Every structure is written in C-alpha cells, then in structure tokens.
Structure 1
Amino acid sequence: MKAKLHHIIFENTSELPEKWDNFAVENIFLQKKYLEILAFSSPENMTCFFIGVFQENQLVGIAIAQFLDGKKLESFGNRDRCLKKIVRDFTFKNFSSQILFIGNNMLTGQNAFSHSDQISTVSFLNELKKATQMLKKKLKHSGKKIHLTSFKDFTENQTNDFTQADFSSFYRFDIQPNMVFDIQNHWFSIDDYVDDLSKKYRDQYKRARKKAEGIEKRKLDLAEILLLENEIYNLYYHVAKNAPFNTFLLPKSHFGIMKKNLGHDFLLYGYFLDEKLIGFNTLIKNGATMNTYFLGYDEKIQPEKMLYLNMLYDMIGYSIKKHFKKIIFGRTALEIKSSVGACPEQMFGYIQHSNPLIQKQMHRVFNALQPKVAWKTRSPFKN
C-alpha cells in the first residue's frame, strides 16, 4: 500500500525543496528563477504561495497558488463605461474580490502544477483541494476571507481528471480562448509565412509594414530596460487601464526584474519613433513554445502606424527564425490575432464560492464578472 500524500505550503522561494525544479523542466513558469520574480515583483494586490506535495519524505509534485485582493484595485478596467460595467464592478468588489487561484492569473494556460508519474493527477488534485482549505484558514487568520477559489486554465482533455477527482462542488466555466499560433515545419523565415497567406492577408502584411516605416525596433538589454523603466511602465499602464477587465497591475520594477532573473529567456523589444519610445512587447521562451507577455504602446501613434499588428508579425518572424514550435498569444485581441493565423483553444476552469447560496447562482455571478467579447474567426492562409 502506497503512503498517503501530504503537502507543505511555502511562502518564500528560499524555502522551496532542493528538487523543486526537477518537476519544472518543461515549464519555465514553475521554475524557481521565475517564481522568485513573483516573490519580489508581483502586483501589489497579489500574494503568492508555493505548494509541495510529498509521499512520505519524497517530493512528488509542485503547484503555485495566488491570493488576489481586488479591494486594493481602484478600478477593474476603464474601457467599458456603461451600466453593465457598474454592475460587474459592484459584484466583483462586494462578492468576489478576494480570490484564491491554483494557477497563475498573470498567464494563460496550465501553469498551475506538475507532478511525478509515480502518482495520478486525480490523487494530486485531491491533495491540492486539501491545500486550498489550509490556505483559506491561513488567510482567514490574517483577516482575509476568501470569496472564491479557482483552478485555472485547462483544456478539455485535462478536465477529465477534475471529473474523476470529484470537483462537483465547483462550477466549471469556460472563458475566452487562448490564441495559439502553430509554426509550420516548412517555415524557415517570415517570407515563408507570408507566402502561405491568401492575397487579402498578404496585402494586410504589406500595408502594415509600409505604415511602420520610420519606426526603429530594438531588443533592449537590462541596462536599457532600467534606463527606460518609466517610459515602459507608462505605456504598459495605459494599455492595462483601458482593458475591458483587469484584476491586477504590475509594479514598475517588474520588467527589469524579469530580465535580471530570466536573462536570454526574456525578451523586451522597444519601438522608437524619432528616438522616442512609442511601444514595446515582451516574449518569454518556454522550451519549444514562445509565450507572449505584456506590452504597451502610445494610443495616438498605434492606429496610424498599425503598431500592434506589426508587433504580432515581429513575434511570428522571430519565433520562426529561432525554430519555436508554437506561440501562445493569450486571450486578448482575439480577432486581430486570428487574422495573423492564431487559432482559438478553449480553456476551462473550476470555481467555488464560500457562500453556498451564491455558489448555486454561480453561472449568473460568473457571467456578470466575465466580459463577453464578440469576434469573428479569420482564415488568413491559402486553402
């Protein structure tokens, strides 16, 4: 008979078991060097915890948890100024603002956990459920009552384990899809990608590149990122504040600390017009996958120069050149990402409210919190 699982909750990365990274070889977002960034430069309203799952004294799995305090945010997004936004903000602040995530709310995809083949995902999930109860007690002792507990983001196939682990007391939800760009084996440069586009989208590519003439794109090193920290943050902050819904804001130091910790695995490209920074984007290398991260731009210049679209093409070009297999574009700006060839991957999560009466109405609460985005799928490639 196998020994029972148990868990330990760590609050500091310095406490993590020596073999932690053995379970994060295939995912940089679970590695110590990335988790240290969360420890030192996470949003002001976010507290991170790290869960080690053990069988006897042997580490058999790892997970990340985040407590998000929405009450510390001035606003949850300023783009939609309407009655629905007022209702959404009221619902969030009063009934759903203190959230415990198993997973990383700053990323898209399954960056929540990893475990040994010695144990099943079902038994691991059952132990994580126990860990959430422990975390809720810990937070309650410090005066923070959890409204919602959520496990995120999982594909349809990955949800089978949650069914077997009996997550019936949770509400299963689906959110806006993760836009994933698959890089074809016969692409060796951006020209190969463009050759595969239909005439309409080849013309879009040429028009965007023409509009961007005069803009200098430059990869920034750590010294340059620190020198331009204020300008980078202002561009990021403007885009973040004007998003339809936001649950956190990064601190100003975040991008510098990302570069310091991740080195060559973190890329920040600045876009300059007349030597002034007008935009930037960031990329994180994760094995054979390229993950897009946060970006920012000057809204007065962006439309005329088609800056955002040019950033997408640049990310595609770099990823093809460096032989990545796919790009994770995330779940914003779905239609424009579809127009460059990204495809939607449906993601699911599980959520539970501390109030059983509200939990029964969770489908309504969730719909009030989650902004609906209407968009059309594009097919940019030749048939």
Structure 2
Amino acid sequence: MTQNFTFSIYQTVQDLPQKWDEVAHSNAFLQIPYLQVLERSAPTNMECFYIGIFENKNLIGVALAQYLNLNKLESFGERDKCLKTHIRNFVFKNFASHALFLGNNMITGQNGFAFSKEMDFNSISKILLNCAQELIIYFKKKNIKIHIASFKDFYKNAANQLKDDGFASFYEFNTQPNMIFELHENWKSEADYVNAFSKKYRDQYKRARKKLEEITFRELTLEEITKNEARIYQLYHYVAQNAPFNTFFLAENHFTTFKQQCGDRFVLVGYFLNENLIGFHSLLLNTTVLETYFLGYDDQVQKEKMLYLNMLYNMTAFGIEHAFKKIIFGRTALEIKSSIGAQPIQMSGFIFHTNPLINKYMSKIFPKLEPTLKWQQRHPFR
C-alpha cells in the first residue's frame, strides 16, 4: 500500500465512517444520499462498494466501485442488429461477463473518487489499483472470477498523469465523448440563450417549441413520481433498451428512491399530453454543475413533437435560470446535443483483463467491440 495510505471497503452505507460527506462535498455522486439511492435501487446485476481512504487513520478520500454481472442482463441494447453487435455480445457474455468498475458505470464524468487534500496521481493510481486487487480477491473467495477491471472516466489531464504513473501498462480507451455545455455568464434567461443562436438554429428552436404547444410539463413531486412509478419506468426502459449498448437497467423504484433520498437536489420533470405522461427528464444539482440524468419518452410522441430536443432546451433553460456554470449532458445523441450548444470533451478509461493472454491483445480486441460512431458536430451560435 502507498506509504501512510490505507483503505477500507464497505458494503453498506450505514458502515461508512464519519466525515464521509465532508470529504465528498465537491461531488453529489459520492455523498451518502446518492449512495443510499444505489444501495436501495441499484440495477439487479450490480453490486456497489464504498471505499474510504485514510492517511494515518484520518479519512482523506472516498471512492466508489461497482461489480456488474452481465450474465443477468436481459439485453445489451437492441438498436443495432449488425454482425459486429452479435460478435460483441458473444465476447461480453463469454469473456467479460464479470466486470469490476472503479468509478460509476451509471453516469458520465470523473465521479469515481474525491479527496479532501491535494493528491498526486501516482498515489491515486496505486490506491485505485490496490482497491481493485482486493475486490478481485474478494470475489475469487466467492468463486466468482472477475474478467475485466476498468478505471472509468478521466478528463485528459488526469488520464495523461495516470498513464505516466501506475496505469502505464493498462489499455487506455476512449469511447464517445462527454457532451458538456459551458454556460455563458451573461445569459440570465432562456431568451438570452436563444438570442445567441444563428438564424438556422433559432428557427430550429422556434419549430421545436411550436411542436410542444399541446404538451404541458412540470416538475413532479415525490408523491407524483411514486404514483407514476410504473409509467416512468416504462418510458425509461424503452429508451434504454433501444440504446446502442447497455450494461445495466435501472430498478423500477429507482426514480422514487432518488427523490426520497436527495429531495430538492433531484429534479424529475414530467411531460403530459391530454393528461397522459408521455415523457420525462431528470437532473441532479451537483454544486455549480447541473448533471443530466436518465430520461424516457413515448417514441411516437417524441417523433411527432420533437420531444427529445425540447427536453434538451428545457434542461438548458433550467441551468441558465438557476445560475449553473455548466451542464453535463453525457454520452449518446452527440449531434443533437451539439445543436443546442454542448461541446464534445474526450474522456478516457483504463482497462485490464485478468487473463494475461487476452490482456496482451486488449489494444486489438477492444476497438473491435465498440459501436461504430459517425456524427457531425453542430455550431449553433453566431
């Protein structure tokens, strides 16, 4: 273990040490209310571990790890039906079905760890690797062989430093970029944002908003989310099932649990047509950052009413009107997200296979498994 640093791995939130949230204050995705959401409504094929990092017995860091059993997954995603997809699914089922993630596989962004003091990346890489090795041993004792271990979502500067230190021998992969919208400090309202568009994208905005005229939308209370839980899940599940690739599906009570645990910091907006719930989007208020979370919609209404694009506009308006500095829109739907102003920010992960022979050829195998991505970045502002 790195000099003076030790760690403990916890399986329940109630066992976490005091001052956990104090150390995690910069990231809501590592704080106890969100960890309780994971504990109470994690995907059925996921097991979460909470890691406390200590220096001379003082808690100075927190981290999250997740084990995924891909054998329990109903589908890896049903949008793409090509041969490459069938090969990818076969490989994942047979050679990567037991996966360990250091970080949060459910969201996009550098959300895997937080420290209360400045840490060098050499120490961070050693701590994370030691945590991974201890968890691999833990599962081995349960007769579960971890196939792959992945250290997830680092921005370029962090990735470069990790690569120079403890992760030098691991395969670095870059999947779809994270779409991030840095909000202009002079924008105080949605009108300021729209006025910054070029004519083409202002016309797109007007066209989309006109399509929304028959639809009402509002933030839902805990009672409303609970009442509509089955319908919300149905809308989410349709979108998730038709994604190009999936490693989990949320539990049906996930959004209700999120609202119960995080209160006003979690916002779920419902969209109604003739009083029927036909879509929703959700957000997490994370200090100065607005994190977009899962959404869902009725596909027929989405196509006719440009519902997804209108959700993106609404999330942006919320971010501006509540003075957030940036909005994390995550991966997927890159082109349409760029059309509302988000920029692609490349993120890296590191991965190794516990089979030395497979690991040796990871740089050749992994790129062949990634979904093919072709998109054109849009530039909506004057």
Match for residue 143 of structure 1?
143
Matches within 5 A, 1:81-96: 81-96=81-96
In 2, are the aligned partners of 1:180 and 1:344 still within 8 Å (CA)?
yes
In 2, are the aligned partners of 1:115 and 1:124 still within 8 Å (CA)?
no
Match for residue 209 of structure 1?
209
**Amino acid paired to 2:133:** Q
Secondary structure, aligned partner of 2:125: helix
Match for residue 31 of structure 2?
31
User: Does 2:263 correspond to 1:268?
Assistant: no
Secondary structure, aligned partner of 1:140: helix
Match for residue 239 of structure 1?
239
In 2, are the aligned partners of 1:268 and 1:281 still within 8 Å (CA)?
yes
**Amino acid paired to 1:318:** F
Matches within 5 A, 1:159-308: 159-308=159-308
In 2, are the aligned partners of 1:23 and 1:62 still within 8 Å (CA)?
yes
Cα distance, 1:196 vs structure 2: 0.4
- Partners in 2 of 1:193 and 1:187 — Cα distance? 6
- Partners in 1 of 2:119 and 2:27 — Cα distance? 19
Worse-superposed segment, 211-220 or 164-173: 164-173
In 2, are the aligned partners of 1:236 and 1:295 still within 8 Å (CA)?
yes
In 2, are the aligned partners of 1:270 and 1:277 still within 8 Å (CA)?
yes
- Partners in 2 of 1:224 and 1:290 — Cα distance? 23
Match for residue 49 of structure 1?
49
In 1, are the aligned partners of 2:125 and 2:166 still within 8 Å (CA)?
no
Match for residue 340 of structure 2?
340
Deviations along 1:93-118, one digit per CA (max 9) or x if unpaired, are 11112111000001111100012326
Secondary structure, aligned partner of 2:346: strand
Structure 2 unmatched ranges of 5 or more: none
- Partners in 2 of 1:219 and 1:305 — Cα distance? 19
Cα distance, 1:119 vs structure 2: 4.3
Secondary structure, aligned partner of 2:255: helix
- Partners in 2 of 1:62 and 1:161 — Cα distance? 20
Worse-superposed segment, 357-366 or 295-304: 357-366
Q: Could you tell me the TM-score, scaled by structure 2's length?
A: 0.98
Deviations along 1:8-50, one digit per CA (max 9) or x if unpaired, are 1111111111011111111000101111111111000000001
Deviations along 1:125-167, one digit per CA (max 9) or x if unpaired, are 2122111111001011112211111111011101133134321
Cα distance, 1:120 vs structure 2: 2.7
Cα distance, 1:6 vs structure 2: 1.2
- Partners in 2 of 1:245 and 1:196 — Cα distance? 35
Deviations along 1:332-377, one digit per CA (max 9) or x if unpaired, are 1000000001000000010000111111211232123321221000
- Partners in 2 of 1:197 and 1:156 — Cα distance? 29
In 2, are the aligned partners of 1:87 and 1:368 still within 8 Å (CA)?
no
User: Does 2:370 correspond to 1:370?
Assistant: yes
User: Is the alpha carbon distance of 1:186 and 1:119 closer, same or farther for their aligned partners in structure 2, counting shifts above 3 Å?
Assistant: closer
Structure 1 unmatched ranges of 5 or more: none
- Partners in 1 of 2:374 and 2:87 — Cα distance? 20
Deviations along 1:280-336, one digit per CA (max 9) or x if unpaired, are 000100001100000000001111100000000000111111111110000010000
Secondary structure, aligned partner of 2:175: strand
User: Is the alpha carbon distance of 1:347 and 1:118 closer, same or farther for their aligned partners in structure 2, counting shifts above 3 Å?
Assistant: closer
- Partners in 1 of 2:93 and 2:166 — Cα distance? 29
Deviations along 1:63-107, one digit per CA (max 9) or x if unpaired, are 100001111012100001121111010011111121110000011
Secondary structure, aligned partner of 2:300: coil
Match for residue 114 of structure 1?
114
Matches within 5 A, 1:310-349: 310-349=310-349
User: Is the alpha carbon distance of 1:3 and 1:364 closer, same or farther for their aligned partners in structure 2, counting shifts above 3 Å?
Assistant: closer
- Partners in 1 of 2:250 and 2:372 — Cα distance? 24
Deviations along 1:251-280, one digit per CA (max 9) or x if unpaired, are 000000000000000000000000101000
Percent identity reads 52
Secondary structure, aligned partner of 2:61: strand
Match for residue 356 of structure 2?
356
- Partners in 2 of 1:375 and 1:245 — Cα distance? 17
Match for residue 71 of structure 1?
71
Secondary structure, aligned partner of 2:350: strand
Q: Could you tell me the TM-score, scaled by structure 1's length?
A: 0.97
In 1, are the aligned partners of 2:125 and 2:162 still within 8 Å (CA)?
yes
- Partners in 2 of 1:65 and 1:154 — Cα distance? 15
Deviations along 1:152-188, one digit per CA (max 9) or x if unpaired, are 1011101133134321221011111000011101101
- Partners in 2 of 1:153 and 1:249 — Cα distance? 20
Worse-superposed segment, 363-372 or 84-93: 363-372
In 1, are the aligned partners of 2:146 and 2:354 still within 8 Å (CA)?
yes
Secondary structure, aligned partner of 2:381: coil
Cα distance, 1:54 vs structure 2: 1.3
Query: Aligned residue pairs: how many?
Result: 381
- Partners in 2 of 1:234 and 1:135 — Cα distance? 34
In 1, are the aligned partners of 2:20 and 2:62 still within 8 Å (CA)?
yes
Secondary structure, aligned partner of 1:300: helix
- Partners in 1 of 2:55 and 2:193 — Cα distance? 48
